[in-house]
Amino acid sequence: MNILLPIEISLIAGIIFLLLPEKLKGFTKIVAPIIGILNFVLSIIIFFNYSIPLFAHRVVITDLLSRFIFLGIGFFGFIVSVYGAGYVKISKIKHQKSNIENEKFSINNVNKFFAYFFLTLGSAFAIAISNNLIILLIFWGFLGATLYLMIQLGKEGANDAAKKSLIIIGASDCFLIMGIGILWQLTASFNITEISPTTNYSLLSTFSFICFVIASFAKAGNMPFHTWIPPTASTAPIPVTAYLPASLDKLLGIYLLARCVLSIYKLTPGLSAFLMISGALTIIFAVFMAMIQHSGRKLLSYHAVSQVGYMVLGIGTGNPIGIAGGLFHMFNHAIYKSCLFLGLGEVEKNTRTDDLDSLGGLAGKMPLTLFTMLTASLAISGVPPLNGFFSKWMIYQGVINTFNTRNPFIPALCLIAALFGSALTLASFMKLIHSIFLARKQKNKDVEGTIRFKRRWTLIIPQLILAVACIVLGIFAYPVIINPVFRKIVPFTTTGMWKPELSAGLIIIGVILGLLIYGISRIKVRVTPPFIGGEKVTPEMKVSGTDFYLTIKEIGIFSRVYDWAEKMYFDIYEIFKKWIFYFSKIFRYVHTGSLPFYLLWIVIGLVIILIIM
């Protein structure tokens, strides 16, 4: 199978959809998922059997890592294309009382959405198999433009979020250009397979590696280059959020970092410690931000940042099992975070809000969504035997293996941060699930009676596929993905024992025995009305999940840090914006619009040049 075929199909489809008039959106909704499914099938075939056109032999890399990323891109392209078709199909929801069209959670221009979608998909395919760094750079930069265009399709505030995303990622692209230029100066080659990973480590080569790391961090969303993700998640359409910050950008950003560590550079102890500390700090800071959010989108967005910390931590260990764990966690995260965003998108479509204070009582009305989001929540929290536990377990082993190669102080702190972050993740997702599905719904006169819950299978099926993937990749990880993929990318051995099949079997047996004992014993159960502090809960009272962890903001240093975060002190975009505006004021004084004044500056400049020469 020609490995370039999915790239060609995606780019051509994107151009055609861009040229189609909007009145043909019905055609687009039907054809787009078909193309998504076709690309996924082709990516499966290419993973096992591929061919390369003669003209592309030097510029295409087809090792197992590239083909695995290629397959992952095809999979998430298929998932989001099917979900997107169902999402745009109901692009207008009418408020029955006021008869006002609510387009807050809709995509108005269907053709543009799928045009940008497939242009992004084709570019991502190209990045995954680009052996030439210049070609990789071209498509990498093009993804920044399509990201900007896709975010703009969202609700109020999307333009500002799109601009912020473009500036942060565009600035990181400048560092990528610089890193590639330095690498060419050191190796005289742009081809990844021709660059020796034993490059002589001068200050220049270290700076080149840092440039690649900045580009990777900005794309994946690692701190401090993460600040484009929360506003994007809050304003962009849900399919865009599930497609880019949740899945595709994670695959590409972590792929670039892994490619640097495995193929281009040799990781020194200092650079390894830098990556591990960066990953650990991202885990902790982002999960604390997630815990206090009242918006479902923002809560998920900060967890999308926090989980990148695990990937960077694993790859930063520099040992095989840590790198394999980071890559596995990258794929796992894309699965369960996409599932969570897609589930939240269906909740939004039915309730017209993602505000956790306004939700509740949806368990009986949306049982399948409860199942998918609960499964994904347990997976991201590292609960065995789901896939999130398996990849975190591998990362923990990678960190432990570094104890013998360096001072164990830094790895020990990173391991504690990772374990603590996993516990806090579970706590914040208890809040999410409770607030949406289990809490008592508050009465809202403006919304009450206007919501009609519909089972839209184009929205539910992608969630079910991802939820089942969380289970399968957790219980059957060894035969499905660990042995055929990761052990071949980076051969490793485990130092501990984890048998997910046995664990799952014991859990199932325990549940069955518990039910049998309960049934045989005929225990009499007394049902009492719920109460809080000795007082009965009345219909007017509501226990809100959003209030679970508000006291964290009142604890000493935490209150100060949260205050700094609200004032954007940690937002690299806001920091640089202030400095740029400060210096721009100085230059405004010499930019008077007077032609004689400009001529005077030219003369002064020429005099200075002549004196220097």
pLDDT digits (tens, 9 = 90+) for 63-78: 999 999 999 999 999 9
What is residue 519's predicted lDDT score, i.e. its pLDDT?
Answer: 81
Asked whether residue 378 carries a pLDDT value surpassing 80, the answer given is yes
What is residue 381's predicted lDDT score, i.e. its pLDDT?
93
For residues 277 and 410, is the Cβ–Cβ distance under 8 A? Answer: yes
Residues 6 or more apart whose Cβ sits within 8 Å of residue 142: 119, 123
Question: Looking at residue 44, what is its pLDDT?
Answer: 95
Mean pLDDT of the chain: 86
Range name among 231-240, 266-275, 474-483, 487-496 with the lowest pLDDT average: 487-496
- List residues bridging with 355 in a β-sheet: 295
Using alpha carbons, select from 284, 390, 270, 387 the residue that is nearest to residue 318: 270
State residue 236 phi and psi, 5-degree precision: -75, 155
Q: Where is pLDDT greater, at 519 or 79?
A: 79
Question: Helix-strand-coil percent breakdown of the chain, rounded to 5?
Answer: 70, 5, 25
At residue 185, the pLDDT reads: 87
User: Are 65 and 131 a contacting pair, CB within 8 Å?
Assistant: no
Is the pLDDT higher at 528 or at 479? 479
Is residue 304 a contact partner of residue 240, using CB atoms and an 8 Å limit?
Answer: no
Listed ranges 378-382, 518-522, 566-570; the one with the highest mean pLDDT: 378-382
Residue 455 has pLDDT above 80, yes or no: no
- pLDDT score, position 195: 84
pLDDT for 404 beyond 90:
no
Give residue 418's pLDDT band: very low, low, confident or very high (50, 70, 90).
Answer: very high
- Residue 198 above 90 pLDDT? no
Asked whether residue 57 carries a pLDDT value surpassing 70, the answer given is yes
Q: Considering only 185-189, 193-197, 329-333, which range has the smallest mean pLDDT?
A: 193-197
Taking the C-alpha atoms of residue 416 and residue 541, their distance in angstroms, rounded to an integer, is 39
Distance, CA of 389 to CA of 395 (rounded, Å): 10
The DSSP letter of residue 428 is H
Per-residue confidence (pLDDT) for residue 97, from 0 to 100: 38
26-30, 37-41, 103-107, 378-382: least confidently modelled range: 103-107
Of 302 and 456, the one with more pLDDT: 302
65: which 2 tokens? 């890592």
- pLDDT recorded at residue 593: 65
Higher pLDDT, 399 or 438: 399
Residue 222 pLDDT greater than 50, yes or no: yes
Q: At what angle do helices 556-566 and 269-291 cross, to 10 degrees?
A: 90
> Rg of the chain over CA atoms, in angstroms?
26
Question: Is it the case that residue 274 has pLDDT exceeding 90?
Answer: yes
Structure tokens at 49: 């059997």
Residue 70: its pLDDT value, please?
95
> Which residues neighbour 382 within 8 Å (Cβ) at sequence distance 6 or greater?
388, 389, 392, 422, 425, 426
What is the predicted pLDDT for the residue at 541?
65
Q: What's residue 354's pLDDT?
A: 87
Amino acid at 564: W
Structure confidence by residue, pLDDT tens digits, 107-117: 778 889 999 99
Residue 100 pLDDT: 35
3-class secondary-structure state, position 115: helix
Q: Confidence class of residue 540 from pLDDT cuts 50, 70 and 90?
A: low
Per-residue CA distances from 423 to 83, 283, 418, 451 (Å): 31, 11, 9, 35
Q: What percent of the chain has pLDDT over 90?
A: 50
Looking up tokens 């980071």 gives 326
Distance, CA of 17 to CA of 534 (rounded, Å): 62
State the pLDDT confidence band at 96, using cuts at 50, 70 and 90: very low
- Total length of the chain: 613
pLDDT of residue 91: 42
Question: Among residues 124, 84, 123, 126, which one has the least CA distance to residue 107?
Answer: 84
**Cβ pair 144, 173 in contact under 8 A:** yes
Q: What is the pLDDT of residue 102?
A: 45
Q: Write down the residue that tokens 């809490």 correspond to.
A: 439
**If you average pLDDT over residues 374-379, what whole number do you get?**
95
In this predicted model, what pLDDT tens digit does every residue of 484-512 receive, in sequence order? 999 999 998 877 778 888 888 998 999 89
Residue 99 has pLDDT above 50, yes or no: no
Q: Assign 120 a pLDDT band (cuts: 50, 70, 90).
A: very high
Q: What is the mean pLDDT of residues 173-198?
A: 87
Q: Tell me, what's the pLDDT at 544?
A: 64
Distance CA 65, CA 485 (A): 8
pLDDT tens readout for residues 285-310: 999 998 888 889 999 999 999 999 99
Burial of 53 (0-12, 13-18, 19+ CB in 10 A): exposed
3 state DSSP class of 404: helix
Separation CA 543–CA 552 (nearest Å)? 18
